[in-house]
Amino acid sequence: MRKVYNFSAGPAMLPEAVLQQAQAEMLDWQNSGMSVMEISHRSATFTNLIEQAEADLRELLNIPYFYKVLFLAGGASNQFAMVPLNLFSEENKTADYIDTGIWSKKAIEEAKRYGQVNLAASISREKPQQIPPQTDWDLNPNAAYVHYTPNETIDGIEFHWVPKTGDVPLVADMSSTILSRPIDISAYGIIYAGTQKNIGASGLTLVIIREDLIKQALPNTPTLYQYIVHDQNKSLYNTPPTFIWYLSALVFSWLKQEGGLQIMAEKNRLKANKLYEFIDNSGFYRNDVHPSCRSWMNVPFSIENQDLNDTFLQEAENYGLTYLSGHRLVGGMRASIYNAMPLEGVESLIQFMQHFSNLYG
């Protein structure tokens, strides 16, 4: 039994069953007499793992055959550069970006190094924060792509709809929302996601890319920043982070056993609704995101009297609820409640929050 509920935004909580399996297989993986970490990434056993991981991911997300899946190192932040380097061409170096928070801004700053960014829409700074409807966006029909962030991990702002961009490829940074519910892959040109949020451990990045978007990158693009190189080498151009690939494969298999993404969606919706409902009715805590775009995955909240933050975090820690502090850029509190967080974890948090507000409210 584990001793705490971990509400960290990432690296994040992993399913207990996955950790137990990794522990059981640690000294002898697949009758090799070795751990998975010590095995060649080009061996037959590891090749099987890679193939099974991709097959499971394709099944979970219902990925059409004309999309490739790349398993890359470097984190989601690397994709901030890889997307423009690979989707821009000498003829067209303009892209539309939607700014909904801190991670969108980072993607925008990086893209500006390689071409022209058109800020097609920005979130309001007034509270409650709300994503502008697409009718208010200023999209350029000749853009090389449109980039957006379906879930802003730090701000707790999430799209509950998919933008429509016609023939212009839609690129999504799904780092903190991938696998939390079914998605229509065919609406996207590229989906990328770091594994350390809703999948668990850090070190790997998934890129789901429509085949026709894999083409020559801009001149002078470093080899490892070219999708075409990773595609041609089946994500094994150089040594990949094998242990995280293995852990991610265990998580995919766990998700299948749990019943797939429709079931995860129901669980995630229930967890988030319970927590927001409690916050809204508490008269002590608040969340400043408009209900139409509140995140199911990351729930920021604050206490009117900011002086109580440290006490809250310390007492939560004593209660077995860890990593509840907000991101260092925004302060306050944040509960990240990804797939691996059971409903009991959220109920335990609500119980503690109630107890705390009784004491200090």
Least Cα distance to 315 among 255, 267, 356, 258 occurs for 356
CB of residue 272 to ligand PLP, shortest distance in Å? 16
Choosing from 75, 128, 320, 361, the residue that interacts with ligand PLP (CB under 6 A) is: 75
Choosing from 60, 76, 229, 275, the residue that interacts with ligand PLP (CB under 6 A) is: 76
295 binds ligand PLP (CB under 6 A): no
* Sign of the alpha-carbon torsion through 159, 270, 128, 297: negative
- 204 vs 319: CA distance, rounded Å: 32
**Cβ-based nearer residue to ligand PLP, 95 or 353:** 95
Within 10 angstroms of residue 330's Cβ, the number of other Cβ atoms is: 14
**Cβ-based nearer residue to ligand PLP, 6 or 175:** 175
CB of residue 43 to ligand PLP, shortest distance in Å? 27
- 333 vs 335: CA distance, rounded Å: 7
Choosing from 5, 6, 7, 10, the residue that interacts with ligand PLP (CB under 6 A) is: 10
**φ/ψ bin of 75: left (φ > 0), alpha (ψ from -120 to 50), beta (otherwise):** left
- Collapsing DSSP to helix, strand or coil, 280 comes out as helix
175 binds ligand PLP (CB under 6 A): yes
The single-letter code of the amino acid at 298 is N
* Sign of the alpha-carbon torsion through 8, 9, 10, 15: positive
- 347 vs 265: CA distance, rounded Å: 18
CB of residue 120 to ligand PLP, shortest distance in Å? 18
Backbone angles phi, psi at 5, to 5 degrees: -100, 125
339 binds ligand PLP (CB under 6 A): no
**Cβ-based nearer residue to ligand PLP, 165 or 205:** 205
173 binds ligand PLP (CB under 6 A): yes
CB of residue 110 to ligand PLP, shortest distance in Å? 11
149 binds ligand PLP (CB under 6 A): yes
Residue corresponding to tokens 């990086």? 110
Task: Choose the stretch contacting ligand PLP; rule: CB under 6 A; options: 136-144, 171-179, 225-233, 323-331.
Answer: 171-179
**Cβ-based nearer residue to ligand PLP, 264 or 308:** 264
Q: DSSP for 297-312, please give it.
A: SEEEEEESSGGGHHHH
**Cβ-based nearer residue to ligand PLP, 221 or 295:** 295
Least Cα distance to 306 among 346, 272, 333 occurs for 333
Catalytic residues: 103, 173, 197
Q: Which of residues 179-208 bind ligand PLP (CB under 6 A)?
A: 194, 197
Least Cα distance to 100 among 120, 75, 116 occurs for 120
CB of residue 149 to ligand PLP, shortest distance in Å? 5
83 binds ligand PLP (CB under 6 A): no
- 8 vs 22: CA distance, rounded Å: 21
Task: Choose the stretch contacting ligand PLP; rule: CB under 6 A; options: 16-24, 69-77, 82-90, 164-172.
Answer: 69-77
Least Cα distance to 324 among 103, 6, 3 occurs for 6
The single-letter code of the amino acid at 94 is T
- Collapsing DSSP to helix, strand or coil, 100 comes out as coil
176 binds ligand PLP (CB under 6 A): yes
Q: Which of residues 204-243 bind ligand PLP (CB under 6 A)?
A: none
Choosing from 5, 29, 103, 312, the residue that interacts with ligand PLP (CB under 6 A) is: 103
Task: Choose the stretch contacting ligand PLP; rule: CB under 6 A; options: 32-40, 73-81, 108-116, 353-361.
Answer: 73-81
CB of residue 352 to ligand PLP, shortest distance in Å? 25
| Residue 305 tokens, joined | 């009297």
Say if residue 153 is exposed, middle or buried (CB neighbours under 10 Å; 0-12, 13-18, 19+): buried
Please give the size of the binding site for ligand PLP, defined by CB under 6 A.
Answer: 12
Which residue of this chain has its Cβ atom nearest to ligand PLP in the complex? Answer: 75
Q: Which residues bind ligand PLP (CB under 6 A)?
A: 10, 75-77, 103, 149, 153, 173, 175-176, 194, 197
